[in-house]
Chains A and B, each alone.
Chain A
Amino acid sequence: MNFDFSDEQNMLRDQAARFLGDRAAPRAILDGKAAFDRDLWQGMAGLGWMGTAIPEAHGGLGLDHEELCVIAEELGRTLAPTPFASSVYLATEAILLAGSDAQKQTYLPKLARGEAIGCFALAEGVGAPTPKTIAVTVNDGKLRGVKQPVADGDVADFAVIVARGGGGLSLCIVDLDAAGVERESVPTVDPTRSHARIAFDDASAALLGEPGHGWAMTGEILDRAAVLIAFEQLGGAQACLDMAVDYARNRYAFGRPIGSFQAIKHKLADVYIATEIARSNAYYGAWALASGAADLPVAAAAARVAASTAYNLAARENIQTHGGVGFTWESDCQLYYRRAKLLSLALGGERRWKDRLVSQLEARNTA
């Protein structure tokens, strides 16, 4: 039984924590005009993080997805304002999964070095995107329609698009600076992560993977990203818990630390419980992702549901523990509260992932 990260992986965690602790500054993005922190991005690229799970033959470090999970947890803990999730967990994974040799050679080395930023465009406004609702089309290599919100769509170089065409749904890659692409930033509940509306008017796109198999591939990409984002959520939840515990120990009311009141103790014990449930499910997701286990769809959905539950709870109760000061603009409570909700919707909402989890369990029990 070896169900924990190794000493080497924990060293990577410490290194990541030190690096990000000095530099990750989400508040500068919240209060400023930049879409993301380019200096931080360059620093992360210098450490090779974007290429963690990219094979050495394609310019990456050729490490395991478990290492990527360790980095993700620290990015989540520090709210690092970069397009890492879009470029690494989604676009890179899509190309690793479905790309032709030529596409891998074109994109992966640049992605590994952080020179190219990718994103993944699925949503088309309010409501869950499904095979019935997706309206963006790809015909004869031309994309038409509107995707929004697209995380990092305003800063990425290219996007992987889920579009109708090829006898069903297909994936394709589109250069976001090409003719026929109009994009603009859209405001979201979390300004530390930028999002865009992207309109395609006969923009040239290249198919990614088998035409007509886009929905199945989307499921696989989302499963992988769900595990990685679960680690960001886990890191964020733990940061909220640490913040709330620290405040409860040092804030005095009625002549005593508020953390000595059972109303606060029990609330924070429940946050701890949810965070540990999330941690254990995330670890299993990491194992399933890294080992290519057939159980990945179940493990990923469970990791995502547990992590979304824990992060939203932890962020909400962190503000509550802080009281009025937690509701001020200056308090960092808001940064986690915003990010928690953003991440729990990013790959589809909790309701949909719970449904997917039960569907996968039904399929597993029938098989």
Chain B
Amino acid sequence: MDFTDTPEEAAYRAKVAAWLGANAEPRHAGRSYKARYGDDALLPLAVEWQAKKFAAGFAGITLPRDYGGQGGSRIQEVIYNQEEAGFVVPRGVYEIGLGMCVPTMLTYATEEQKQRYAEPALRGDEIWCQMFSEPAAGSDLAGLRTRAVRDGDDWIINGQKIWISGAHFCDFGVIVTRSDPKAPKHKGLTYFFLDMKSPGIESRRIKQLSGQTNFNEVFFTDVRVPDAQRLGDIGNGWRVALTTLMNERLAVGERPAPDFDEIFALARELDLEDGPAIADPAVREKLADWYVKMQGLRLTRFRAITALSRGQEPGPEASITKVVAGRKHQEIAEFGMDLMDMGGVCADPQSMPMRALFQDALLSSPMGRIAGGTDEVLRNIIAERVLGLPADIRIDKDVPFEALPTGVK
């Protein structure tokens, strides 16, 4: 075992590092673009950064050259992301569009559409969003009810999507709709891409538990979409949606703070009633558990990268990352505040340790256990796809969708 690059990887890493060094500011503790979609001031910076990446040949690293990508390997993408994590850059705005929507479009669209849409997206001129979830279709995504009805060469879409990142500034979006309510739930779905400026689309920001507004509800009222913008066959939308979800990139580099490093630093700084928090056996036991998990996830990622480096597909082990990281983030936030005792309720960044990082995380961390697959859904996926346990007995499979109860009764 070793942790060194192959000569080709080392050369690519050097090229990336040189370019980042000349074009971005190195990251120092406590200095980063913290906000994502919610911070409107971030958007112009993100657009500018994406254009720079495109010009330098670091946009769409794994996408085909014919459509503006780099035709590179996944290990090159991992290397780029590892290096970029060391710099203060406006990440986030393009991740869903370029990581999930555009690859799906490239799989199902016509040649003419690929030529039209891929390069402007990679250049950063056009931003894409993904519209899957609905108020009555979260973990049970195939329970979605937004209707698409055929009308000549067009489809008319009516309904509501929710938890859409960046809908208020995106140019295009991909959407899964119900085209046949008489078919069983997974079989009556059809997938499209559409212009977010189409008449009849209205997006509203959602104010979250944390007070931030990263997400939108999007309402569709008689929105007209050409049949030419259908991706995949009529009724085959579930399969296309799975393509989108499988394109989620290998999570690299960034982990939500506070993680082990921050709670370790806090425990060394703070005094409890009998001396430094770090000397307390109960604190030490928790620190050890979190270190082992943090390090375990980091090293598990190295195993996946090793598979990529050897030209293999990574195994299923990376599926554990989100379950472990989401819960750990929340527990560390809660425990950090507990160490601050009665004063821990205060949330003023000027006076609180680490600019109230732990208090912020208390309120933002529930999202990490829900978005992109709840802890419960992810455990089902591990059990069924990794361990090979039998699927749950389903009462909603061979029944017309319109006959099923959905939502909250």
Chain A residues with a Cβ under 8 A of chain B: 1-5, 66, 241, 245, 248-249, 256-257, 259-262, 264-266, 268-270, 272-273, 276-281, 283-284, 286-287, 290-291, 301-302, 305-306, 309, 351, 353-355, 357-358, 361-362, 365
Contact = CB atoms under 8 A, between A and B. Distances in A.
Given A262-B380, A272-B386, A351 B285 contact: yes
A213 B382 CA distance: 48
Given A266-B379, A281-B296, A272 B320 contact: yes
A264 B281 CA distance: 33
A277 B287 contact: no
Query: Chain B contact residues: over half helix, strand or loop, or mixed?
Result: helix
Contacts of A3: 1, 3, 299, 302-303, 305-306
Contacts of B285: 351, 354-355
Contacts of B3: 1-3, 287
B324 interface: yes
Q: Which of B287, B288, B293, B306 has the most CB of A within 10 A?
A: B288
B1 A66 contact: yes
A293 B209 CA distance: 46
B339 interface: no
Query: Chain A contact residues: over half helix, strand or loop, or mixed?
Result: helix
Contacts of A249: 388-390
A281 B299 contact: yes
A270 B379 contact: yes
Contact of A272 (B264, B268, B278, B387): B387
A357 B297 CA distance: 17
Q: Which of B291, B379, B383 has the most CB of A within 10 A?
A: B383
6 contacts: A260-B391, A260-B392, A272-B386, A277-B320, A279-B317, A358-B284
Contact of A268 (B5, B295, B387, B390): B387
Interface in B310-331: 317, 320, 323-324
A287 B390 contact: no
B379 A265 contact: yes
A279 B320 CA distance: 13
Contacts of B309: 1-2
Given A3-B3, A245-B389, A361-B291, A265 B306 contact: no
B302 A265 contact: no
A269 B284 CA distance: 27
B175 to A, nearest CB: 30
B376 interface: yes
Given A1-B5, A2-B4, A351-B285, A260 B393 contact: yes
B307 interface: yes
Contacts of A287: 1-3
Contacts of A272: 320, 382, 386-387
A354 B284 contact: yes
Nearest to A288: B1
Nearest to A281: B296
Contacts of B388: 245, 249
